[in-house]
Structure 1
Amino acid sequence: MEMMETIAKLGLTEPQIAFNGGLIFQEVAHEMKILRENSINLVSIQRILTELVNDFPDISPSLYDLNSWYIEKMDKGIKYEADLGGQTPKLVEFVSLLKQTEIKIYKIMLISFNLQEMKQLVEKLEELKLPDISIKQSSENYLEITSNHAQKARGIKYIQELEQLTKDDMAAFGDGYNDLSMLEMVGTPIVMDNALTGVKDYGKYITKDNDSDGVAYGIQKFLME
């Protein structure tokens, strides 16, 4: 949903990777063709949401399917994300939503502006020991949960094989822990200046931060010169 505007503006026709590799799709005749997908087990989603309600009432949770962003309440975290991404969430009851057995949820996003709470949240989710999910912090305030088969490295591998590319043919930009597997897959890993602690260790180059057009700068500075 967030990517389609950019895809249209740039006229992109090649396969695209979304949800940390949980969805690979391609626009064909103005329609989205799914090439590969790994959604989250609905039972695991229900277990996670139950734990959040009990122990983390101030967390801002969101669910994402192919075309929609679902929330249960409009709070500070949701308003922040809506302003940042320019998307409008759908207000629903998660329990009712997840009773729709045909629904496919590709990502759970959890937002907290309390760093200590975020640390406790990560620890709590890891204690659940759900084998079918992947838990990755994408920024200080954002925690993303996807299928354990949804890894950015898998998406990169798909593109690499499709286009018959070598590792040295590829570059990637990243700033969060969910980007590490992707950065290791390419010959030119470029890390944003706003990256989480330790992520810069995986970069061949460091570019400007997200608020300073770091990707555009990195393309011009490190890929075109």
Structure 2
Amino acid sequence: MTSGPFRGVAFDLDGTLLRSDHSISQEMRSLCATLAGQGLLVTLISSRPPRSVEQIVRDLGLESPWAALNGAILCASGAVIDRSPLPAEAVDHILARHGRDARVSVSLYAGFDWIVRAMDRRVGIEAEIVGFSPTVEAGFAGRPVADKILLITDAGSGDGARIAEELAALGDGVAVARSKENYIEITRGDVDKGRALGFIAGSRGLSARDLVAAGDGENDAPMLARCGLPIAMRHSPPSLKAVAELIVGSNDDDSLPRAVGRVFGAMRPQRR
């Protein structure tokens, strides 16, 4: 395992910092408070919309910059400090191809706004997860400057992999990644969680290699590849585990905060 000293930690949210019911365990809360109290950087880098990430940042009492929309939006002290919108032609292509496909739920994210064409079942599930409801705009008539597009398919249908492969053919103008098997995240070509990690580290005069990072999805691979100690969850896809130096258990068993606590000497190993 890579040795320290490390200067901070970056967490993905769903499937990593958050439990399966989207709550935060007391042990994770304690870890974040302890590390932040020691002056270490504790940041969140998520594919969630900014409004949802900001709620969790406030809940944890964190003061470091953080990233939403897979790194397309970076915020600090309640303000946007970096924004990377999608090329307009890419948005037009994706909406023309999938905007009327009943098998796909399309979401546009523009700054702190979340816009959908309709409140269908898949969008309803996502609204429960992130803690707020989107604005419904049939046909996306307003066509805002979009920082991210999320396509949600039915789990187990196989459509997620097919659509991700199709969109990857759009070229360097867009980055396509999956945060879940049926969640296709589309951002600008140079945007990913690794870029966000480097930006946040640099804001503190650090390198991404000075940080520990933990995640569980394909979209976390760029972040884990850039950090000093990459940690993957047990349920991560093989592609992410291949990047990791440490694999922990479930996001429901507190193995992650215990492992990170040991790295920083913030927690003692539990007695058996």
Superposition TM-score tier, normalisation by shorter sequence = 0.7 to 0.9
Hey, what's the Cα distance between the residues in 2 that align with 1:213 and 1:50? 44
Q: Match for residue 10 of structure 1? A: 60
Aligned residues: 215
Q: Kindly tell me: are residues 87 and 214 of structure 1, through their superposed partners in 2, closer, same or farther at Cα, counting changes over 3 Å?
A: farther
SS at match of 1:158: helix
Q: TM-score, normalised by structure 2?
A: 0.72
Mind listing any 5+ residue stretches in structure 1 that lack a counterpart?
Answer: none
3-state SS, counterpart of residue 63 of structure 1: strand
The alpha carbon displacement at 1:59 in A equals 1.0
Match of 2:103 in 1: 58
Task: Report the Cα offset of residue 107 of structure 1.
Answer: 1.1
Q: CA deviation at 1:104?
A: 2.9
Q: Secondary structure at the match of 1:124?
A: helix
Aligned mates of 1:111, 1:140 — CA distance in 2:
9
After TM superposition, the structure 1 = structure 2 runs for residues 194-205 of structure 1, keeping only pairs within 5 Å, are: 194-205=235-246
Give distance in 1, aligned partners of 2:178 and 2:230: 19
Residues 106 and 94 of structure 1: CA distance in aligned 2, closer, same or farther (over 3 Å): farther
Distance in 2, matches of 1:168 and 1:130, equals: 29
Task: Answer yes or no: is 1:72 the counterpart of 2:117.
Answer: yes
Question: 1:211-222 residue pairs with structure 2 within 5 A?
Answer: 211-213=252-254, 215-222=256-263
Q: Residue 125 of structure 1 corresponds to which residue in structure 2?
A: 167
> Unpaired runs of 5+ in structure 2?
1-50, 268-272
1:210/1:62 Cα in 2 relative to 1: closer, same or farther (>3 Å)?
farther
Superposition RMSD in Å: 2.1
Closer/same/farther in 2, CA of residues 104 and 211 from structure 1, 3 Å limit: farther
Deviation by residue 1:159-201 (Cα, 9 ceiling, x = unmatched): 2222222455311111122111110111111111221232111
CA distance in 2, matches of 1:192, 1:142: 18
Instruction: Give the counterpart letter for 1:65 in structure 2.
Output: A
Identify the residue that residue 92 of structure 2 maps to in structure 1: 46
3-state SS of paired residue (2:200): helix
Which of 154, 157, 164 aligns to 2:198? It is 157
Give the conservation status (yes or no) of the 8 Å contact 1:40–1:105: yes
1:19 and 1:150 in contact (8 A); partners too:
no
Is 1:173 aligned to residue 214 of structure 2? Answer: yes
Give the deviation of 1:10 after TM superposition. 2.4
Look up the equivalent residue of 2:236 and give its one-letter code: A
Higher relative contact order (CA 8 A, sep 6+): 2
**Contact (CA 8 Å) 2:99, 2:106: kept in 1 or not?**
no
Separation in 2 of the partners of 1:42 and 1:167?
31
The alignment-based identity, stated in percent, is 26
1:185-196 paired onto structure 2 within 5 Å: 185-196=226-237
Partner SS for 1:198: helix
Contact 2:192-2:222 within 8 A present in 1 as well: yes
Q: Quote the offset at 1:34 in angstroms.
A: 2.0
In structure 2, relative to structure 1, the CA distance for the partners of 1:218 and 1:104 (3 Å cut) is farther
Query: Post-superposition shift, 1:217?
Result: 4.2
1:25 matched to 2:71: no
Q: Which has the higher helix share?
A: 1
Residue identity opposite 1:147 in structure 2: R
Deviations 1:3-38 (CA, angstroms, capped at 9, x unpaired): 1212222232222122222111111xxxx3222110
